Amino acid sequence: MRMVPFGELDSLVGTEVGVSPWHQITQTQVNKFAEATGDHQWIHVDVERATRELGAPIAHGYLTLSLLPMLSAQIMRVENVQRGINFGCNKVRFTDTVPVGSRVRLRQKCLHVEARAGGKQVVMESTIEIEGRDRPACVAESISIVYG
């Protein structure tokens, strides 16, 4: 994990910050996400039908996106901060499906850092890759604000 002092966040602009370890997507995780969100579409939760018609159940796109905080915390930690918040995303695209059983990881590049509301707003190009596939599952510009 990369440790970055709060005062040096600006130095990350234009660089690849890092890559997370692999994380396996399980059916239990997909089912819990379906319960939490009310999205019970068969491609996610009907294992028999999804396996028959698609080869495997598919993780929700928003489940994939929701992994950003966990995976990014495995890439970098900003030192000397009081708190950090997820501020949102700019562009979000789901460019490939994530079959249950797949492993995904996050690759981040720092696009922009600016002073904001007593902290620093950090915009990352966040790419969630799928092991063994050329196309990523998701590409998003994720925005965080950290307060020193």
**148 has a pLDDT exceeding 90:** no
Tell me the per-residue pLDDT of 8-27, one tens digit each, with 9 for 90 and over. 999 999 999 999 999 999 99
**111 has a pLDDT exceeding 90:** yes
pLDDT in the model for residue 118: 87
Q: pTM score, two decimals?
A: 0.93
Per domain, the residue ranges of the chain are 2-25+60-147
DSSP secondary structure of 64-128: HHHTHHHHHHTTEEEES-SEEEEEEEEEEEE-S--BTT-EEEEEEEEEEEEEETTEEEEEEEEEE
Secondary-structure class of domain 2-25+60-147 per CATH: alpha beta
